[in-house]
C-alpha cells in the first residue's frame, strides 16, 4: 500500500449559510424557475394586450387601486422584520429568531388578508374576456407563492418553538426562507405595475 | 419519381425559386456530409504511431479551426441564398386575381370576388386559375388552424381563426391540375382534406368563370326533375346551396356547379356515380366525423338524386 | 486547448492498449483505498443501508436505486411508444389502408409523440444522470434524495395516467403540440386534451425537481480538486441541460395551465372570440419545445465525449472548445423557437433573424463533431459496441443537422414544414443524435450499474440492425415530404405515388425494432448472466470507475481528490483522499462552488415514505383536476400537510428529556 496524503473532513463545520449551503442554491434555482413563470405570464399579458384596441377591453372597468397599493407598503415594511429574522438565524440566536419570525409571519398574514380584498376589486371575471383571464392568472400565480411562503414560515416558526429548533440546520432553513421572502416582495412590484398601472397608462 | 403534389416539380415562379434553392442546399449538404464521413473514416483507419500522445498536435488543431471557419462561411452563403429567395417569392404584383379561400373541418370553400356583387360566386375544393397570371388567395379559417399548400405552386401558409385573412400570391406557368392538401393537423379527417388547383389558358379560364357565375341548370329530364324534388324535400338544402333554387344552406359546400367537379368530399373520392351514391347514403362510413350525415332515402330516390346532382355542370 | 504538458507524462504511463487491460482481471480494489477500508466499509454499509421490509419500494432514497428504476420505467414507456410507432408504420405501409381508423391513428400518433418526448427522452437523460452524476463527481449521494423519490413517483404516476386513459379510449388526439383552437373545448370535447395537460404537469414537475438536484449536486458536491475546468464533459452537459430545463419547462407548464383553465373554468387565453389568441400558445409551446430538443440532445453529446475518450485511449481534443460549444448551444437554443412558426405568416424581416439564429446553432454542433473526429484521428480506436454507436451517431446526426439547416431557411421550410421531411429530420436528430449515444453509453456504463458485462456479439448485431433499420425507415421520408406527403395523416390515395417509399420505410421500421429488441434482450440476459465485470472493465478515466461495480450504497469509502480531466489515468494511487466523514450518519462532503475545495459536511436523510405519499396526494389532485377545479382547492392543503411531515425533522431525544 502506497503511503498517501489524507484530508480530514471531520474538522469541517456541519452547516453553512448563504451561497456555501446547498439549500441556498436550491432556493436560487427555484427562484429562477418562478421568475421565468412570472416573466412568461407578464409576456402573455402584453401579447394579449397587443390584440386589443383598448385595454382593458370595452365595457370592462379598471381594477381597484386601493388594496394592492396598501399591499405594496405592507410588503416593503415587511422587509425589515424579514431581514432581522435572517440575521438572527445567521447568528444562531434562538430567542431573537423566535421573536422576529413571528413578526414576519404576522406581516405575511396581513398581506394575504389584504390580497383577499384585492381579488374582490379586480372588477372583471376570469371568464369575461382574455384581459380578465390574464389578470386573474397573474394575481393567482403571485398568490400561490405568497401562500406557499406563508405556510413555510408558519411551519418554521412552530419548529423554532419545539426542541428541533435549536439546530444549525434549522437556522439555515430560516435564513433561506427569509431569502425567499425577498423574491416574493421583489416579484410583486413588477406584477403590481403591470396589473394596476399598465391598464391606466397604455 | 413523378408526383401530383410534389415540391420538386414546380409549375410556377414561386415554387420554381424554392426548388432552385433546394438544389443549392441539397448539393451543399451532400458535399459537407461526404467530407465529414471521409475524415471520420480516415481518422479511424489511418496508420498511427505506437504510443498515443495526449497532447494536441498543432496540425490537427489548425484543421479543426479551418473546418470551423469553413462551416461559418458555408452557413453564411446558405443564409444569403435563403434571404434572396425569401425576397423573391414575397414580391406582390399589382394586378393579381383575388380569390378567397376559407378552410373548414374538412373541406375548402372558394369564393371568387368581384366588385359587381352579381358576378361573385362560390365553389368548393377546386380552384381554377389562368396560366401566367398571378393569383392572390385570401386565406381564412372558420374553425381550427388549417394550412394551405399546393407544393407545385408555392410553399404553405397557415390559416388561423380570429386573424384577418392572410394573403399569399402565386402563379402557374404551365396548364395542368395540381393537388393541394391541408398541412396543419386539424382533427379527425385531416388526412382527407385536399383540393385541386386547375390552371387553364386565359380564354378557357374566362369561360369557366362565366359559366360559374350562372345559376344552376334547370333539370331537363324527368329523372333529373324527380332528383331535384328529392333534394329539396330532404334535409339537403339545410346545409347546401344551389343557386337558382330555394336551397341556400351555408354549412356544406355550394353545389351549384357540382357536376363539373373532379372529386367529392374534399378530394376523398372521384366524382363518379358509384362514389356519389355511397357518399350520400354512407358518408359517416366513408369519411367518419365529417359534417355530412349518412342519409336515409326511400326506394327509387337515389338514382334520380344522383342524376340531378350530376347534371349541375 | 486544454491538453497540458504536465499531464502528458503521467498519461503515457497508463496509456496501454485496451486489449491488454481486458486480459488483466478487473479488480474490486479501488485506486483510492487506504489501509483499514474494510472496517470502514462495514460501518458505512450499515449507516447507508437502503430501506428493507415489505414497503421498501416506497421508501428508497438512494440515487442508484432510484436511478435504475427511472431508467427501467423510462424504457417501459419507450417500448410502448415504439409499439405505437410500429402500428403507425403498419397503417401507412400501403395506400388506403384500413388497419387503423382515423380516430385510432390520431390518438396513436399523439401518444407516440407525448410518450417519446415527455415520458422517454427527457426522463431517460435525467435518469442516467441521477445514477451517474454523483459517481462521476466522487460524491456519496445526489442532493435532496427525497425529492428524487418524489420525482420518480410523479413520473411513474404520469405515465400510468396517460396509458390508462389511452386504454379507456381517452388518449390525447390533438398532437403532442396540442394547438388550440383544435384543443379548445369547442373542438375537443371530452377529457382527452385534459389528460395531455395533466400529464405535462406530472412529467414537468418531475423533470424540474431532478434538474434542481443535478444543478445543486454538480455545483456543490464535487470531489476536492474538481474545479469547474476539470468537470467531466458529460457532467458539463448535464449542468447546462438542467439549467435549460429550469428556463424552458416553465413555459410548457404555464401554457398547459392556461389550456387547462380554458377548458376547466372558462378562461379565454386561446379563444379568438374573446380576445384570446391561438398564436400565444404556439409562442409559449415552442419557447419550451425548441430548447426541449437540446435538453434531449446535449446530454447525448456529453455521453459521446466519454465514449470517445475511453475508446480512443486519449483525452478528448479541445475540452474548452467543447464546453463553450455546449454553453453556446444552451443559449442559442432559446432564440430559435419562431422557426416552428414560419408558415403562420409572421413578418419576413423578423423571421430572417430566426433563420440566422437557427443556422448559427449548427456552428457549435459542428465544432464538437470536428473535435471528436480530431480525437479519433489522434487516438487509437477500440472497436467495442459503444464506439460503434458513436460512429453511427456521427453519420446520422450530421445528416440530421444538415436537414436542420435546410429547415431554418424560410422558403424551404414553407415547402417541407409539416411534411414527412420534418419527421425524417427530427428522427435523425433525436434517434441519431440522442438514442444512439444513449444506447452506446448504456452499454458502456452497464457493467458499472449491474456489475456484469454485456455480450459484445449481440451488441454488434443490435448496432448493425439499428443502423440499417433506422436509415431504411427514415431516409425515404425526406423524399416523401418533398413529393407532398404531409404529417399526421392516417391514409393517403394511391395516385399520390407515396406507396412504395412508405412500404420501404415500414420494412425499415421492422429492422429497427428488431435491433432494439436484440439490444434490450442483451441487456436483460447480461444483467442476470453476464461475465463479472470488475470495477473498471473498459479502463475508463473518470471517477465512476474508481469504485466497485455495482457501487456500494455509499459510493466511495474514501472521497477521491482529482487534479485533471482523467483522474484514473493520472496515477490515482498517489492522489490524496478525504477521510473523516461520519460513519454513523449519512454525511457527504460539500465543496466550494468553483474551485471545489472542501467546505462543510452535510447529513443526508434516511429512507422515508413521505415522498411517496406526497406523490400520491399530488396525483390524486391532478387526476381530480381532470374533472373539477375543486380537486386543487382540496388537494393543495392536503399536499401541504404531507410535505410538512416530510420535512419535519427527527431529532433523537437526549436521555431524560421530556417529550416536547
| C275–A10 CB contact, under 8 Å | no
pLDDT value at residue C530: 93
- pLDDT value at C27 more than 80: no
- pLDDT value at B52 more than 70: no
| C1–B61 CB contact, under 8 Å | yes
pLDDT value at residue C34: 87
pLDDT value at residue A1: 47
pLDDT band at residue C143 under the 50/70/90 scheme: very high
pLDDT value at residue A165: 82
pLDDT band at residue B2 under the 50/70/90 scheme: low
pLDDT value at residue C573: 85
All three cell numbers of A171, joined, read 437556522
pLDDT value at residue C9: 36
| C34–A12 CB contact, under 8 Å | no
Does the beta carbon of A60 lie under 8 angstroms from any beta carbon of chain C? no
Choose the closest CB to B158 out of C345, C369, C411: C345
Comparing A103-107, A154-158, A162-166, C382-386, which segment has the lowest mean pLDDT? Answer: A162-166
pLDDT value at residue C15: 47
| C12–B51 CB contact, under 8 Å | yes
pLDDT value at residue B95: 84
| C212–A9 CB contact, under 8 Å | no
- pLDDT value at C295 more than 70: yes
All three cell numbers of C133, joined, read 452524476
User: Environment class of residue C507 by beta-carbon count within 10 Å: exposed (0-12), middle (13-18) or buried (19+)?
Assistant: middle
Choose the closest CB to C600 out of A12, A36, A128: A12
All three cell numbers of A141, joined, read 400565480
pLDDT value at residue B94: 76
For residue C552, CA distances in Å to C36, C41, C65, C579 come to 17, 9, 11, 17
| B21–C405 CB contact, under 8 Å | no
Question: What's chain A's average pLDDT?
Answer: 92
Q: Is the peptide bond before C181 cis (omega within 30 degrees of 0)?
A: yes
> In chain C, pLDDT over 90 holds for what percent of residues?
84
Question: Hey, of B64, B83, B164, B187, which one would you mutate to test binding to chain C, going by the most C CBs within 10 A of its CB?
Answer: B64
What is the average pLDDT across C90-112? 96
pLDDT band at residue A169 under the 50/70/90 scheme: confident
| A1–C220 CB contact, under 8 Å | no
pLDDT value at residue B42: 95
Q: Which residue of chain B is at minimal alpha-carbon distance from C345? A: B157
- pLDDT value at C17 more than 80: no
What is the average pLDDT across C252-281? 94
| C589–A51 CB contact, under 8 Å | no
- pLDDT value at C347 more than 80: no
pLDDT value at residue C349: 67
| C579–A6 CB contact, under 8 Å | yes
Does the beta carbon of C14 lie under 8 angstroms from any beta carbon of chain B? no
What is the average pLDDT across B133-151? 95
- pLDDT value at C340 more than 60: yes
Are C467 and C392 in contact, with CB atoms under 8 Å apart? yes
Cα(B104)–Cα(C181) distance, rounded to whole angstroms? 13
pLDDT band at residue C654 under the 50/70/90 scheme: low
Q: Is the peptide bond before C550 cis (omega within 30 degrees of 0)?
A: yes
Q: Using a CB-CB distance cutoff of 8 angstroms, which residues of chain C are in contact with residue B156?
A: 343, 414-415, 417-418
B192-213 pLDDT tens trace: 999 999 999 999 999 999 999 9
Q: Is the peptide bond before C293 cis (omega within 30 degrees of 0)?
A: no
Are B170 and B135 in contact, with CB atoms under 8 Å apart? yes
- pLDDT value at C7 more than 60: no
- pLDDT value at C259 more than 90: yes
Write down the residue that cell numbers 396525483 correspond to: C619
pLDDT value at residue C31: 86
C128, containing H or E segment: helix C122-137
pTM for the model: 0.94
- pLDDT value at B260 more than 80: yes
pLDDT value at residue A106: 95
Subunits with 3+ Cβ pairs within 8 Å of A are C
- pLDDT value at B1 more than 50: no
* Selected residues 118-137 of chain B with any CB under 8 Å from a CB in chain C: none
Q: Which residue of chain C is at minimal alpha-carbon distance from A148? A: C640
Does the beta carbon of C362 lie under 8 angstroms from any beta carbon of chain B? yes
C428-485 pLDDT tens trace: 999 999 999 999 999 999 999 999 999 999 999 999 999 999 999 999 999 999 999 9
A111 phi/psi in degrees, rounded to 5? -60, -45
Cα(A94)–Cα(A99) distance, rounded to whole angstroms? 9
Does the beta carbon of C269 lie under 8 angstroms from any beta carbon of chain A? yes
> In chain C, pLDDT over 70 holds for what percent of residues?
94
For residue C227, CA distances in Å to A91, B54, C450, C586 come to 30, 21, 30, 24
- pLDDT value at C656 more than 50: no
Do the bridges between strand B194-200 and strand B126-130 make them parallel or antiparallel, or are there none, so unpaired?
parallel
- pLDDT value at C650 more than 80: no
Are C312 and C343 in contact, with CB atoms under 8 Å apart? no
| C411–B55 CB contact, under 8 Å | no
Instruction: Please report the DSSP string for B252-267 in residue order.
Output: S---TTGGG-SEETTT
Q: What is the ipTM of this complex?
A: 0.96
Choose the closest CB to C381 out of B44, B85, B157: B44
All three cell numbers of A124, joined, read 372583471
| C488–B83 CB contact, under 8 Å | no
What is the average pLDDT across C36-61? 91
| A6–C578 CB contact, under 8 Å | yes
C154-190 pLDDT tens trace: 999 999 999 999 999 999 999 999 999 999 999 999 9
Tell me the shortest Cα–Cα distance from C220 to chain A, in angstroms.
7
A133-158 pLDDT tens trace: 999 999 999 999 999 999 999 999 99
| C272–B162 CB contact, under 8 Å | yes
Residues 6+ apart with CB under 8 A from A167: C649, C651
CA atoms within 13 A on the CB side of B260: 17
pLDDT band at residue C30 under the 50/70/90 scheme: confident
pLDDT value at residue C242: 97
Question: Hey, of B4, B16, B183, B291, which one would you mutate to test binding to chain C, going by the most C CBs within 10 A of its CB?
Answer: B183
What is the average pLDDT across C543-559? 93
Alpha carbon of residue A46 to chain centroid:
23
Does the beta carbon of B181 lie under 8 angstroms from any beta carbon of chain C? yes
pLDDT value at residue C352: 84
* Selected residues 220-259 of chain C with any CB under 8 Å from a CB in chain A: 220-221, 224, 246-247, 249-251, 253-254, 257-258
Does the beta carbon of C174 lie under 8 angstroms from any beta carbon of chain B? yes
Paired residues of B136 in beta bridges: B98, B169
Question: What's chain C's average pLDDT?
Answer: 91
Tell me the shortest Cα–Cα distance from B221 to chain C, in angstroms.
35
A170 phi/psi in degrees, rounded to 5? -70, -35
pLDDT value at residue C3: 36
Amino acid at each position: 500500500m502506497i503511503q498517501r496524503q489524507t484530508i480530514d473532513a471531520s474538522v469541517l463545520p456541519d452547516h453553512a449559510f448563504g451561497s456555501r449551503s446547498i439549500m441556498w442554491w436550491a432556493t436560487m434555482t427555484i427562484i429562477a424557475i418562478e421568475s421565468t413563470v412570472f416573466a412568461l405570464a407578464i409576456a402573455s399579458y402584453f401579447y394579449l394586450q397587443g390584440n386589443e384596441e383598448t385595454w382593458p377591453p370595452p365595457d370592462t372597468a379598471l381594477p381597484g387601486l386601493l388594496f394592492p397599493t396598501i399591499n405594496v407598503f405592507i410588503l416593503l415594511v415587511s422587509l425589515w422584520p424579514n431581514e432581522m429574522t435572517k440575521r438572527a438565524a445567521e447568528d444562531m440566536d434562538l430567542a431573537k429568531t423566535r421573536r422576529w419570525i413571528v413578526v414576519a409571519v404576522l406581516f405575511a398574514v396581513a398581506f394575504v388578508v389584504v390580497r383577499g380584498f384585492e381579488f374582490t376589486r379586480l372588477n372583471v371575471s376570469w371568464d369575461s374576456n382574455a384581459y380578465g383571464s390574464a389578470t386573474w392568472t397573474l394575481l393567482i400565480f403571485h398568490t400561490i407563492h405568497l401562500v406557499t411562503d406563508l405556510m413555510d414560515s408558519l411551519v418554521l416558526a412552530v419548529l423554532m418553538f419545539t426542541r428541533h429548533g435549536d439546530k444549525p440546520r434549522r437556522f439555515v432553513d430560516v435564513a433561506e426562507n427569509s431569502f425567499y421572502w425577498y423574491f416574493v416582495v421583489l416579484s410583486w412590484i413588477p406584477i403590481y405595475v403591470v396589473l394596476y398601472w399598465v391598464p391606466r397608462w397604455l | 419519381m413523378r408526383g401530383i403534389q410534389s415540391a420538386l416539380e414546380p409549375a410556377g415562379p414561386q415554387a420554381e425559386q424554392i426548388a432552385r434553392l433546394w438544389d443549392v442546399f441539397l448539393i451543399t449538404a451532400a458535399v459537407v456530409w461526404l467530407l465529414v464521413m471521409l475524415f471520420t473514416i480516415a481518422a479511424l483507419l489511418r496508420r498511427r504511431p505506437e504510443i498515443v500522445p495526449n497532447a494536441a498536435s498543432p496540425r490537427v488543431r489548425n484543421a479543426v479551426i479551418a473546418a470551423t471557419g469553413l462551416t461559418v462561411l458555408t452557413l453564411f452563403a446558405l443564409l444569403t441564398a435563403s434571404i434572396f429567395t425569401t425576397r423573391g417569392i414575397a414580391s406582390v404584383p399589382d394586378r393579381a386575381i383575388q380569390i378567397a379561400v376559407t378552410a373548414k373541418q374538412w373541406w375548402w370553400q372558394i369564393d371568387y370576388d368581384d366588385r359587381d356583387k352579381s358576378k361573385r360566386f362560390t365553389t368548393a375544393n377546386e380552384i381554377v386559375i389562368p396560366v401566367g397570371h398571378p393569383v392572390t388567395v385570401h386565406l381564412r379559417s372558420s374553425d381550427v388552424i388549417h394550412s394551405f399548400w399546393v407544393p407545385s405552386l408555392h410553399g404553405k401558409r397557415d390559416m388561423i381563426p380570429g386573424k384577418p385573412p392572410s394573403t399569399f400570391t402565386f402563379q402557374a406557368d404551365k396548364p395542368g391540375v395540381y393537388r393541394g392538401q391541408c398541412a396543419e393537423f386539424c382533427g379527425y379527417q385531416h388526412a382527407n382534406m385536399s383540393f385541386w388547383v386547375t390552371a387553364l389558358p386565359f380564354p378557357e379560364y374566362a369561360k369557366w368563370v362565366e359559366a360559374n357565375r350562372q345559376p344552376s341548370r334547370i333539370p331537363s329530364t324527368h329523372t333529373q326533375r324527380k332528383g331535384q324534388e328529392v333534394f329539396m324535400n330532404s334535409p339537403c338544402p339545410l346545409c347546401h346551396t344551389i343557386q337558382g333554387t330555394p336551397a341556400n344552406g351555408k354549412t356544406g359546400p355550394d353545389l351549384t356547379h357540382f357536376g363539373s367537379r373532379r372529386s367529392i368530399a374534399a378530394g376523398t373520392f372521384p366524382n363518379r356515380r358509384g362514389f356519389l351514391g355511397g357518399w350520400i347514403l354512407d358518408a359517416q362510413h366513408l369519411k367518419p366525423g365529417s359534417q355530412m350525415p349518412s342519409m336515409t332515402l326511400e326506394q327509387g330516390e337515389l338514382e334520380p338524386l344522383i342524376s340531378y346532382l350530376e347534371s349541375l355542370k | 486547448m486544454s491538453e497540458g504538458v504536465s499531464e502528458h507524462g503521467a498519461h503515457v504511463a497508463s496509456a496501454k492498449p485496451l486489449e491488454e487491460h481486458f486480459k488483466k482481471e478487473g479488480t474490486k480494489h479501488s485506486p483510492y483505498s487506504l489501509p483499514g477500508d474494510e472496517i470502514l466499509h462495514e460501518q458505512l454499509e450499515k449507516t447507508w443501508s437502503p430501506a428493507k421490509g415489505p414497503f421498501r419500494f416506497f421508501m428508497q432514497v438512494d440515487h442508484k436505486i432510484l436511478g435504475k428504476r427511472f431508467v427501467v420505467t423510462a424504457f417501459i414507456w419507450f417500448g410502448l411508444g415504439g409499439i405505437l410507432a410500429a402500428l403507425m408504420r403498419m397503417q401507412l405501409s400501403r395506400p388506403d389502408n384500413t388497419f387503423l381508423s382515423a380516430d385510432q391513428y390520431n390518438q396513436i400518433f399523439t401518444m407516440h409523440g407525448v410518450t417519446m418526448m415527455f415520458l422517454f427522452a427527457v426522463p431517460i437523460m435525467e435518469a442516467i444522470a441521477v445514477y451517474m452524476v454523483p459517481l462521476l463527481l466522487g460524491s456519496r449521494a445526489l442532493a435532496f434524495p427525497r425529492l428524487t423519490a418524489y420525482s420518480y413517483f410523479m413520473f411513474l404516476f404520469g405515465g400510468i395516467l396517460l396509458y390508462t386513459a389511452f386504454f379507456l379510449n381517452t388518449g390525447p388526439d390533438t398532437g403532442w403540440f396540442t394547438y388550440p383552437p383544435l384543443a379548445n373545448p369547442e373542438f375537443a370535447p371530452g377529457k382527452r386534451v385534459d389528460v395531455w395537460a395533466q400529464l405535462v404537469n406530472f412529467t414537468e414537475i418531475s423533470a424540474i425537481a431532478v434538474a434542481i438536484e443535478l444543478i445543486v449536486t454538480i455545483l456543490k458536491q464535487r470531489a476536492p480538486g474538481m474545479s469547474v475546468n476539470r468537470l467531466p464533459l458529460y457532467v458539463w452537459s448535464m449542468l447546462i441541460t438542467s439549467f435549460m430545463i429550469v428556463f424552458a419547462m416553465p413555459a410548457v407548464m404555464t401554457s398547459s395551465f392556461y389550456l387547462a383553465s380554458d377548458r376547466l373554468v372558462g378562461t379565454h387565453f386561446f379563444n379568438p372570440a374573446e380576445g384570446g389568441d391561438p398564436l400565444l400558445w404556439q409562442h409559449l409551446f415552442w419557447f419550451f419545445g425548441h430548447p426541449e430538443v437540446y435538453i434531449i440532445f446535449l446530454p447525448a453529446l456529453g455521453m459521446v465525449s466519454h465514449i470517445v475518450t475511453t475508446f480512443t485511449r486519449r483525452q478528448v481534443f479541445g475540452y474548452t472548445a467543447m464546453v463553450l460549444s455546449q454553453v453556446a448551444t444552451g443559449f442559442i437554443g432559446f432564440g430559435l423557437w419562431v422557426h416552428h412558426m414560419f408558415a403562420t405568416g409572421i413578418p419576413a424581416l423578423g423571421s430572417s433573424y430566426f433563420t440566422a439564429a437557427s443556422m448559427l446553432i449548427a456552428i457549435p454542433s459542428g465544432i464538437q463533431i470536428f473535435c471528436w473526429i480530431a480525437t479519433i484521428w489522434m487516438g487509437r480506436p477500440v472497436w467495442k459496441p459503444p464506439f460503434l454507436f458513436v460512429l453511427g451517431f456521427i453519420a446520422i446526426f450530421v445528416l440530421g443537422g444538415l436537414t436542420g439547416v435546410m429547415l431554418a431557411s424560410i422558403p424551404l421550410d414553407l415547402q417541407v414544414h409539416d411534411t414527412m421531411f420534418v419527421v425524417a429530420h427530427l428522427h435523425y436528430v433525436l434517434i441519431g443524435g440522442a438514442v444512439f449515444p444513449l444506447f452506446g453509453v448504456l452499454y458502456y456504463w452497464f457493467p458499472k450499474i449491474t456489475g456484469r458485462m454485456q455480450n459484445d456479439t449481440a451488441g454488434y448485431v443490435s448496432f448493425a440492425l439499428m443502423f440499417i433499420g433506422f436509415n431504411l425507415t427514415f431516409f425515404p421520408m425526406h423524399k416523401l415530404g418533398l413529393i407532398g406527403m404531409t404529417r399526421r395523416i392516417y391514409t393517403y390515395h394511391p395516385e399520390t405515388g407515396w406507396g412504395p417509399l412508405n412500404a420501404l420505410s415500414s420494412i425499415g421500421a421492422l429492422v429497427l425494432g428488431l435491433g432494439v429488441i436484440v439490444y434490450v434482450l442483451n441487456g436483460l440476459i447480461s444483467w442476470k448472466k453476464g461475465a463479472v465485470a470488475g470495477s473498471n472493465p473498459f479502463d475508463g478515466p473518470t471517477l465512476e470507475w474508481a469504485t466497485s461495480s455495482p457501487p456500494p450504497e455509499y459510493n466511495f469509502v474514501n472521497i477521491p481528490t482529482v487534479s485533471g480531466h482523467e483522474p484514473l489515468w493520472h496515477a490515482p494511487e498517489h492522489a490524496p483522499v478525504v477521510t473523516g466523514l461520519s460513519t454513523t450518519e449519512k454525511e457527504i462532503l460539500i465543496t466550494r462552488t468553483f474551485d471545489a475545495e472542501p467546505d462543510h459536511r452535510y447529513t443526508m436523510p434516511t429512507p422515508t415514505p413521505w415522498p411517496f405519499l406526497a406523490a400520491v396526494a399530488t396525483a390524486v389532485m391532478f387526476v381530480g383536476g381532470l374533472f373539477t377545479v375543486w380537486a386543487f382547492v382540496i388537494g393543495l392543503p392536503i399536499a401541504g400537510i404531507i410535505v410538512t411531515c416530510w420535512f419535519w425533522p427527527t431529532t433523537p431525544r437526549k436521555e431524560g428529556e421530556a417529550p416536547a
